Amino acid sequence: PVSTKESGSQHLELLDLTPLAESTFSLVPIQPSRYHTLQVRRPKVERPRRNSEPLGGRSFDTGQQWRSGLQFGVVTSYLNLEKLGDGAYSTVFKGISRINGQLVALKVIRLKTEEGIPFTAIREASLLKGLKHANIILLHDIVHNSETLTFVFEYVQTDLAQYITQHPGGLRPNNVKLFMFQLFRGLEYIHQQRILHRDIKPQNLLLTYLGELKLADFSLARAQSVPSHNYSSEVVTLWYRPPEVLLGSTDYSAALDVWGAGCVFVEMLEGVPAFPGTTDACELLQMIWRVLGVPTEDTWPGVSQLPNYRAGQWPGDLLGRLSRVAEDLAGQLLRCAPKDRLSAAETLRHGYFSLLPPVLLQLTLEIKNEGSLCVPAPTRQLKVPMSP
């Protein structure tokens, strides 16, 4: 990932790999008008609010001014602009900080008087406060009152699920490679911190207009304990749930996240989910066995002892539709036995990424704190194009 510091926020600008095999990589800046970035379909009717006009054209002189005296942790320091979506326990708004004028995402969790703050919210906040990385969503602030708990995140324009929908038939291979590289840089970082995300899917991978990918939604994340103990098997959205969890295992590792990333990899290349169309765990297992074959005690010691194990075998051809190097990587990510899957760090060394310029491996991705607001660490600016 390549970072720049612009208007107080952090962006990645991507590399067009098409000419790399034919010419020498250059660090010459390219003007924005000469390259394509992520394109979000624009409605025909002009929207009342834009990123360039976060207050919808209202004048700052009408009472909504940026005030240096406002404090973090106070609900009046943020303005709601529009609702982005609803969840079971929370609502997400696009907002703006009255402290510095930056766009933010406000995740508002509704509190029940008799229950207090949900434990999952406490855990999510505690994990995110310690994660500072260019490919991890940045938590700016936390606001608590008697009725709600609000997480203030950096604002990111879209997510991978929407981007895939806007490009039917699969994404361009160069873009897939860059997205996968960033995803595994983020996974490598949280796994080094002994944190499992436990819900890798396109909806939780946010994309900026410049193509920077950020891992988001840590509501199911858990820190691995030492010694390890059993976890819940009710994790990961079903289509991206690995075989060990589908079989009822509660003793899993970072390989759980690697399986989800492998499913996302295939979905980006093919344009459709790798294992879609079912709401039943047993049916999903059968789909996986049709592609990968049914594991045995020889290939996965202990598998027959898992609660939901059933015998049977069907031929499969999903991975055969990919390019040779992509098929090899997908095959090493989507292994039935967790111990046989590549780790995030090993994935970054796979030959699939061999055409990426070495400069990407040398860039600083850590983010530092300045006061209460997290800001990007300064890095060398590198403007590079992304395939349309």
Catalytic machinery residues = 199
User: By C-alpha distance, which of 266, 206, 205, 207 is closest to 239?
Assistant: 266
Contact 383, 149 (CB under 8 A): no
Residue ranges for the known binding site for ATP are 107
How many Cβ atoms sit within 10 Å of the Cβ of residue 53? Answer: 11
Query: Which residues partner with 92 through β-bridges?
Result: 85, 107
Would you call 228 exposed, middle or buried from its count of C-beta atoms within 10 A (0-12, 13-18, 19+)? exposed
The arrangement of strands across the sheet holding 205-207 comes to 158-159, 205-207, 213-215
Contact 213, 10 (CB under 8 A): no
- As given in the structure block, the two tokens for residue 174 are 């160069």
The alpha-helical segments, DSSP class H, found in 135-254 are: 160-166, 173-192, 243-246
Tell me the sheet residues that pair with 12.
3
Residue 197: HSE in the Cβ half-sphere, 13 Å Cα cutoff: 32
**Which H/E stretch holds residue 326?**
helix 324-333
Pair of tokens at residue 326: 């992509």
